[in-house]
């Protein structure tokens, strides 16, 4: 079973004081720590578990500069077999649609039975690349996958729905799945594991290698673009209503009437 996993290198922002850069279209990443996107990490582990059960190969692909080799080598240390980095100045500014186009151009020439992506990325949260990629490659797909079982040339997958519901789908291979966090427990990557793959060659392809033009990628090939990033305005603090339960209820009703909440 040949599996391709698309991964992304993202900044860790959960505990960082974010600053918007001078362009007002991105955050200032100076001083931020980068790592593999959380959802993609679960996708790599899912691929490895399938490989351990079924055999085959795993190829990890990332779009970005040379620094992306860090997350590609991490995936190799986890158990992936090959790595490919798609890199070109023309890719700068690609939205989810253009990013899926770049990935599709690379993947169509790589033998595969299954493609895995994370549900979304930590940095933009779009959640569109995986499903757009499936459409471009004309593959059956399932999103928000929380469990995978392979039987012959079909997959039975569980996918998360709203309200705590779950859906069970059957897909014929080849197919694409977007992986939800919690599907597994990603394995620890040791320093020795990183050293073991430190000299493994990572392929690189640019826009011309993929048979694309500069007009098809980047801002020119995107359907959307960021106009401006800004922090939401800081509102007033919460108003604490004091008194007995009856007094609090009476005060709350008064506030709601004054502000048009109730007639």
pLDDT at 263: 66
| Beta carbons within 10 angstroms of residue 77's beta carbon | 21
| Residue-level pLDDT at 60 | 98
Domain that holds residue 50: 2-216
Report the domain count for the chain: 1
Per-residue DSSP letter, 122: T
Locate the DSSP E strands across 64-121: 82-86, 114-118
For residue range 30-65, list pLDDT tens digits in order: 889 999 999 999 999 999 999 999 999 999 999 999
Please check whether residue 234 lies inside any domain of the structure: no
- Taking alpha carbons only, the member of 8, 4, 14, 44 closest to residue 181 is 44
Tell whether 253 is covered by a domain.
no
Question: Per the domain annotation, does 164 fall within a domain?
Answer: yes
Indicate the burial class of 34 (C-beta count within 10 angstroms; 0-12, 13-18, 19 or more). Answer: middle
> What is the Cα–Cα distance from 69 to 21, expressed in whole angstroms?
25
Residue 223 inside a domain? The answer is no
pLDDT 10s digits, 114-140: 999 999 999 888 899 999 999 999 999
**Residue with more model confidence, 103 or 26:** 103
Whether 60 is in a domain gets the answer yes
Q: Could you tell me the CATH number of the domain that includes residue 64? A: 3.40.50.620
Q: Is position 156 within any domain?
A: yes
The answer as to whether 239 is a domain residue is no
In a domain, 221, yes or no: no
């Amino acid at each position: 079973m040949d599996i391709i996993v698309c991964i992304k290198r993202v900044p860790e922002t959960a505990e960082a004081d974010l600053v918007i850069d001078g362009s007002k279209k991105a955050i200032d990443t100076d001083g931020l720590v980068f790592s593999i996107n959380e959802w993609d990490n679960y996708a790599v582990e899912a691929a490895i578990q399938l490989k351990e059960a079924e055999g085959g190969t795993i190829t990890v692909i990332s779009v970005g500069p040379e620094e992306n080799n860090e997350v590609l080598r991490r995936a190799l240390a986890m158990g992936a077999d090959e790595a490919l980095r798609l890199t070109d100045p023309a890719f700068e500014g690609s939205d989810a649609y253009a990013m899926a186009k770049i990935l599709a151009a690379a993947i169509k020439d790589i033998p595969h039975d299954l493609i895995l992506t994370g549900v979304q990325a930590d940095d933009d949260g779009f959640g569109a690349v995986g499903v757009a990629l499936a459409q471009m490659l004309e593959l059956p797909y399932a999103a928000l996958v929380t469990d995978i079982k392979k039987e012959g040339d079909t997959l039975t997958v569980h996918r998360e729905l709203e309200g705590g519901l779950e859906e069970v789908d059957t897909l014929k291979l080849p197919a694409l799945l977007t992986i939800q966090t919690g599907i597994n427990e990603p394995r620890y990557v040791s320093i020795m594991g990183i050293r073991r793959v430190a000299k493994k060659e990572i392929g690189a392809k640019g826009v011309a290698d993929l048979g694309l033009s500069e007009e098809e990628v980047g801002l020119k090939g995107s359907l959307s673009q960021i106009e401006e990033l800004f922090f939401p305005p800081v509102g007033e603090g919460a108003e604490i209503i004091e008194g007995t339960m009856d007094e609090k209820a009476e005060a709350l009703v008064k506030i709601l009437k004054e502000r048009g909440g109730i007639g």
